[in-house]
Amino acid sequence: MNCTDQNPVPEAANFRRPAEVVMRLARMGSFHQTRLSFMRTLLRRLKNEQWTFDKPVWEIDGDGFGRAVYSVIGPVRTYSLVAFSHYLPDEMRSDRVIATAWDATFTLFDGVPTTADLDRLQQNVPKQEAGRISDSEISLSRANRSVRLWNHVIEKLSIGEQPDREQLESVGYLVRTTAVYGSGKFGAADRLTICDRPELSGPFQAELLSVWLTRAFAIDLVEHIAQSVGGVKATVIAPDLRKRIGVGNSTGLGMAPFLFNHPALINNWMMAREEAIARVRAVKEASAAEVAEFVTSFERAKFNFSNWNTVHEIQLKKLASLGDDLEKMSVYISTENLNHDCPWDRFYQWAEQHLSLEGQEQLVSLILEPYGELVDDLTGCMDADEHLSFIIDGSMTVAETLNILDLQCQWALSIDFDQPESQARFWYTSAEKLEPRVGERFNEPGEEYESPYGIGFYISQLNKTLLGWAETHSEQKPIADFLLAHPEHRHTLRRVQNLKNRPYAEVQDNVIASDMLPIDLLRCKLSFFGATKFDPRSDRWVRICMYQDCPHPDELLARKIPVLA
């Protein structure tokens, strides 16, 4: 849909939060999943379109090693997760991108693989980056077992008992994915192959389908091994516990460059989310059913909070604030009118005055819950034709460019980059498995390899050079003339022009500052995926849970009816 021309709620414009409020790291690092998150979009579609589910291949031995295939069958196409389970010595298990072996490896196959396909994939998928897949495959991924939970679950199931609930809930998953590659990486199908398919056109739908099926595989695998160990004594995981099992993910800096490299896409994600919040804030009267649904969602958020564990001091502080915020919100909900007089806008305005950023962002996620009909169409606005944002309009005048810098880049122009702490860090790609990293500019070698992500610094440089150039030339000159003289600013100018129509395209904070927290970037992106339980392990590494409490394939979808011969 055209998201600008067909806006059904024009009055929402009055409630939209500006980019200078939203695109700050501290706020982005407090985002929670919403009903627009990509996992939820995916499961809504599978359910609404009545996809079916099948497990055509299960060639796993008693120790849990071998291969399996999980298929989802839609109205037009079928996609299959091809899973390989391997023996991995404990000392080789690492979630870092520099690892070379994993407990399980996967690819999402476009269709149903033949035995020949499986044999080909078995030669390549376990090698991950060192292997090669083809345009019949859409994603490539791997996962490691949770040492905290895996053996415990197998031991209990094999003797006919259920795993310890507390232990299971505190971890939340049996396996952690450590990388999910898509979009033409390592030979996989180019994004253009799938971007016209409605079911995969939204962001990360293929990757998240693969993760959802990985969750099912992990549960089948522990039950299979328990059965092999315990024989007739063994049991399966009880349904209420089974639902509490999600998929973990560990991620480091590898996820952050995406936010810098895809400004048009990030703008659309943010615009859709902010438009949804604005539409709900514009609601004048809430029905009893809508209020009841909000309260149910609020209670679920409190429950999730009680299960959200971390040992990292940054997150401990944030969780303490969120706990206080949830208490204050409870009081507000029980004492204030949630039905009349723009109740959600009043609630939000109160939150801005009384809650931390964690609480404010929790609230905006929750007020969307009762309003699927009002906001779910916005998921159709979250992809982007990035080509259109690449082309520079060289006919734009220098004056107009300076105007964009003045109106939309004050956040960058107000930073004193002469202070060492303002450029203390630099982003780069390591030769070691191409892992993106952040270095200390004044204490580490490698600055000459800097990736161009410190956009605030580059904007300040562009502004300075352009002002000087305009003095000796003319503000009415086309920016093309400036670019010919100053090619070093071409990358930045492209991004600055982009802001004219895409105000949420840039993170409006200094991402090379000494106090920058990369985990804020990671949390923002992961919240859009639909992740929960953000558990930082350092300022640049976070563990999360995906699909916890979501239905499993055999719950959401009917089993494919076998064709009788």
Partner 1 sequence: MKQKQTLVEIEGYFRKVARAVGLHWGLAEEAGKAARWLAAFDLPGPELMLSHLQNIEGKDYEQFKPIIGSDSINAHWHTNDQTLCPIITGAAIADRAKLLLNGHTISLVSAAYPILLAATIGQATRSHNMVITISWANVKLSCYGNGIRIEGDRNDLWLDKTEFVSCQQTFDSLPEQLPSTLAYGIDSEVWKVVDELAFRTYAPATEESRAGAGAGLTDND
67 vs 63: CA distance, rounded Å = 12
Among 10, 240, 387, 471, binds partner 1 (CB under 8 A): 387
Q: Is 191 in the site for partner 1 (CB under 8 A)?
A: yes
Q: Which stretch binds partner 1 (CB under 8 A): 111-119, 120-128, 186-194, 297-305?
A: 186-194
Query: Which of 42/188 has CB closer to partner 1?
Result: 188
Query: Which of 182/202 has CB closer to partner 1?
Result: 182
Give CA torsion, residues 43, 44, 45, 49, to 10 deg: 110
Q: Which stretch binds partner 1 (CB under 8 A): 7-15, 37-45, 299-307, 487-495?
A: 487-495
Is residue 58 within 8 A of residue 227, CB to CB? The reply is no
The two three-digit tokens of residue 144, written as one number: 């490691």
Residues 490-529 contacting partner 1, CB under 8 A: 490-494
What residue type is 321 in one-letter code?
A: S
177 vs 81: CA distance, rounded Å = 14
Query: Which of 253/384 has CB closer to partner 1?
Result: 253
Q: Provide the mask over 401-430, with x wherever binding to partner 1 is found by CB under 8 A and - wherever it is not.
A: ---------------------------xxx
Query: Which of 432/555 has CB closer to partner 1?
Result: 432
Q: Provide the mask over 85-114, with x wherever binding to partner 1 is found by CB under 8 A and - wherever it is not.
A: -----x--xxxx-x----------------
Number of other residues whose CB lies within 10 A of the CB of residue 185? 15
What residue type is 327 in one-letter code?
A: E
Q: Which stretch binds partner 1 (CB under 8 A): 8-16, 191-199, 302-310, 549-557?
A: 191-199
The closest of 173, 209, 153 to 543, measured between CA atoms, is: 173
Q: Is 533 in the site for partner 1 (CB under 8 A)?
A: no
Q: Is 437 in the site for partner 1 (CB under 8 A)?
A: yes
384 vs 404: CA distance, rounded Å = 22
Is residue 523 within 8 A of residue 314, CB to CB? The reply is no
Among 105, 124, 141, 146, binds partner 1 (CB under 8 A): 146
Residues 44-83 contacting partner 1, CB under 8 A: none
340 vs 346: CA distance, rounded Å = 10
Query: Which of 437/523 has CB closer to partner 1?
Result: 437
Compute the chain's Rg from CA coordinates: 25
State residue 28 phi and psi, 5-degree precision.
Answer: -60, -30
Inter-axis angle of helices 288-306 and 313-335, nearest 10: 150
Among 21, 292, 413, 434, binds partner 1 (CB under 8 A): 434
Query: Which of 388/558 has CB closer to partner 1?
Result: 388
- Give the neighbor-by-neighbor strand order of the sheet with 173-181: 532-538, 541-546, 246-251, 173-181, 137-145, 104-110, 78-85, 66-73, 52-60, 558-559
Number of other residues whose CB lies within 10 A of the CB of residue 160? 12
Residue count (the chain): 565
Among 8, 48, 115, 192, binds partner 1 (CB under 8 A): 192
Q: Is 316 in the site for partner 1 (CB under 8 A)?
A: no
Q: Is 168 in the site for partner 1 (CB under 8 A)?
A: no
Is residue 118 within 8 A of residue 82, CB to CB? The reply is yes
Q: Is 452 in the site for partner 1 (CB under 8 A)?
A: yes
Among 190, 336, 406, 515, binds partner 1 (CB under 8 A): 190
Q: Is 483 in the site for partner 1 (CB under 8 A)?
A: yes
State residue 453 phi and psi, 5-degree precision.
Answer: -100, -15
Q: Is 478 in the site for partner 1 (CB under 8 A)?
A: yes
Query: Which of 71/144 has CB closer to partner 1?
Result: 144
Query: Which of 284/490 has CB closer to partner 1?
Result: 490
Q: Is 487 in the site for partner 1 (CB under 8 A)?
A: yes
130 vs 98: CA distance, rounded Å = 12
Residues 216-255 contacting partner 1, CB under 8 A: 250, 252-253
Q: Is 395 in the site for partner 1 (CB under 8 A)?
A: yes
Could you tell me if residue 382 is left (phi over 0), alpha (psi between -120 and 50 degrees) or otherwise beta? alpha
The SS3 assignment for 97 reads coil
Size of the site for partner 1 (CB under 8 A): 67
Pairing type for strands 78-85 and 104-110 reads antiparallel
Query: Which of 148/233 has CB closer to partner 1?
Result: 148
The SS3 assignment for 490 reads helix
Q: Which stretch binds partner 1 (CB under 8 A): 79-87, 279-287, 475-483, 549-557?
A: 475-483
Residues that bind partner 1 (CB under 8 A): 90, 93-96, 98, 134-135, 144, 146-148, 183-185, 187-193, 250, 252-253, 387-388, 390-395, 428-432, 434-435, 437-439, 444-446, 449, 452, 478-481, 483-484, 487-494, 537-538, 540-541, 543
